[in-house]
Amino acid sequence: MDNSWENKDDVLAHYGMPKRSGRYPWGSGENPYQHSGDFLARVGELKKSGMKETQIAESMGLTTTQLRTQMSLAKDERRSLQVETAKGLREKGYSLNEIAQKMGFKNDSSVRSLLNTNSEVRMNQAQKTADFLKKMVNEKGMIDVGTGVERELGVSKEKMNQALYILQMEGYETFGGGVPQVTNKGKQTNIKVLCPPGTPYKVNEDGKKTSSAIYDFDNIHSVKDYISYDGGETFHKSFVYPESMSSKRLAIRYAEDGGIKKDGVIEIRPGVQDLSLGESRYAQVRIMVDKTHYLKGMAIYSDNLPDGVDVMFNTNKKSGTPMTDVLKKIKADPDNPFGSLIKEHGGQSYYIGKDGKEHLSLINKAREEGDWDQWSRNLPSQFLAKQSISLIKKQLGLAMSDKQAEFDEICSLTNPTVKKNLLKSFADDCDSAAVHLKAAALPRQRYQVILPLTSIKDNEVYAPNFTDGETVALVRFPHGGTFEIPILKVNNKQAEGRRVLGNNPADAIGINSKVAERLSGADFDGDTVMVIPCNSSRSKVKITSTNPLEGLKDFDPKMSYGTVKKGEDYYNESGKKIRIMKNTQTEMGKVSNLITDMTLKGATSDEMAKAVRHSMVVIDAEKHKLDYKQSEIDNDIASLKKKYQGTVDADGKYHEGASTLLSRAKSETQVLKRRGTPIINDDGSLSYKEVKEEYVDKNGKIQVRTQKSTKMAETRDARTLSSGTPQEEVYADYANYMKALANRARKEMVGTGKIAYSSSAKAAYQSEVDSLMGKLNLALRNAPRERQAQIMANATVAAKKKENPDMDKSEIKKASQQALLAARISVGAKRTTIDITDKEWEAIQAGAISENKLTQILNNTDIDKIRQRATPRATTTLSSAKQNLIKARAASGYTTAEIAESLGISTSTVMKYLKN
């Protein structure tokens, strides 16, 4: 081993090349030492001497912004040298601990951080962003780099500022100015423009550079067509048509060979460049094959693939099924060949091939690691209503207490305009809560995507976000009943789980196919479950779980109601042509309501099995082309609806449909068309101006125009929707409480005054007022662009519907989302959130902004940040030592739950710092 080593102090004191600091010679720029290798050391010495940041910047001939940017760049440069040093020692065979000793670090976690590829990439992002902006200027001329452009490009504000500073050092110029507003005489919108070297300018008395060139508005261009998926490392078109893989690289594992145990999983050979999942260990993907078909499922890496095979697709289809019938056929749509959206940020990626050129990856991500745990964590009524009365009361009680506390907090705000804005939003939330009937989440409850492990036991789950040895309940939606809830023991030492998912998956668990079957026949193509720690000494939560229904044993909806494709049509086993489901959401809503009503009214196990079997068919009928109509007949659904949902109204008419409060709350009802803003009554309730508007329908009959609402929204007393069961009565109390709280909020809103406008405050805070008005104008500029985008998107969807008259609702919805996204990119429509500074908040509190303008500002800002400003709370950030400890323990093989327990923090906090 080569033991030659320079003194560590000498190494760490030298940050750049001889007579250079990175790409800049010493002595370049206005200050001859601002780019030297000892820049950080000099700043540190000046701080120790008692100088403030503003004084240090002034002594170096810099602004404070320039000083901070220079410090960030210098830190990246210092770290870059440390990275190269660590790499060099590692290549020579030194261990991590030896490298740490030689470089003067306390432990090997710092070395691991230096060797982390992602850390190195982040250091280079400012330079890569600068290179991209330079390319745009060289191609287009002047470009807009004002507020919000960094968000359009997908880079941080800090990296954007660093990139612009780098370009300034290379002779490019950034000029600011004011653009007169064509509709508001005397007002202006602030702009910031990056110009090529040599752009003429003059220096004002205050030392600032200005250029009249930026007022030639026709020559200022946008970079809106481009986006960075990796924070500034590379820039590409926001969407390109996917690349296709040859089917020669693909193998199918059929049901008989074990494919049924991993149905929906795409196994990928590690290390294959065009099939990399990037930083994720798992992702829901689409892969085009032979330019005619595509794979859809959960992608994971696998070392156990046959020679010559890069992708193995697992299916429940029988051996002998042609590959073209296993795969899905692409759509004749250049904007959406998969018939579903891929991620806007990170859905597509690029790699450098053996030819040294950049290529588009075959992987198209719909979701990836970390996306599933962002879902709402409230408890849906279709789960909670089937649990014990005590648990229902407890969780609904917590939800009511949370809302009451939020109301009290809002009422304590001192700024009346902010208070009214939040009260209106709060009242709307309470009205919505009464309709949706969601309760407070249970402790440590999380949504996780499921992946298959063939060697794990039937009563175990690999779940590193939970504590090893504890028990957890898995709940999948739509939820049939307590017989679908497996209670499993967490085994985080399971070898296959560690190999497939790693020690710290952000939001995935591993189970076997038998457990998946109990979860309403879940697939492994992206299905999720709610995981609840329960039924153990570690958790006080008691979840009711009953034995699986005998009628569901060995039931496989795909096997029982599968079809065969002949030409463009599908046929059941009897040879009868079937009708393919086109409205999964509607049909699932019907059967879910039926199951809820049957549960509350005490249906037998045999009856429940029939309804649940049918729901299992319905949920997969459209996706797997199942004969759901035959399932409806076989499971006697008509009789069950008559028994548990049949009612006779006051006029003696027989009806079928939702029959309990929980199923009726969101049931659609029609009301007369309403116009204008709702009227707030004395008690806080709402009244509407109704218009009796008639029209002639397609059959020539005169109809009164109506609009949709829900039964819960239209009733003043939730008990009018109840059939009288104990569970319904508890939920009725909850809904009425939320309705009353909404009314109280509106009464408080009406009684709240407004902040007194002060012209003297405006004069005192003129610069802050001008800044806020500029930000508001920028935000409001998006409105016409959004209108244009909506017009373009509607035209695109109309054309697609004309070309494809058989498009169903789900296809139209996906096409609409795709068209709107493309139209927004095309016209540059993108919401710009107003970020309010401390001084600007002072100006608002002093009355320097009129109520009308402040309301507009609040409508275009992050209201949660405003709430924090209006009600200051203590925020805690982990120390750098604890942050390093988290990363060190993760690198040493600790699971997320083990790290959280050892440091006394939550698993979500651990994941937050592991992502940084």
HEC-encoded secondary structure of 9-30: HHHHHCCCCCCEECCEECCCCC
pLDDT of 34 reads 40
Name the DSSP letter for residue 757.
P
Please tell me what DSSP assigns to residue 462: B
| Residue 655 confidence (pLDDT) | 86
For position 11, what pLDDT does the model report? 35
Do the beta carbons of residue 213 and residue 284 sit within 8 Å?
no
Q: Are 468 and 897 in contact (CB under 8 A)?
A: yes
Question: What is the Cα–Cα distance from 452 to 450, expressed in whole angstroms?
Answer: 7
pLDDT at 231: 61
pLDDT in tens, 40-65: 777 878 888 888 888 888 888 777 77
List of the chain residues with pLDDT < 50: 1-37, 181-185, 874
For residue 147, which phi and psi values (nearest 5 degrees)? Answer: -55, 130
Summarised one tens digit per residue, pLDDT across range 520-559 is 778 899 999 999 999 887 778 999 999 999 998 888 888 8
Three-state secondary-structure class, residue 778? helix
**DSSP secondary structure letters along 628-690:** HHHHHHHTTHHHHHHHHHEEE-TTS-EEES--SHHHHTT-EEEEE-EEEEEEE-TTS-EEEEE
Which pTM was predicted? 0.71
Across the strands, what pairs with 702?
Answer: 696
Q: Contact at 8 Å (CB) between 420 and 373? A: no
pLDDT at site 873: 53
* Residue-level pLDDT at 16: 32
Output the pLDDT for position 150: 78
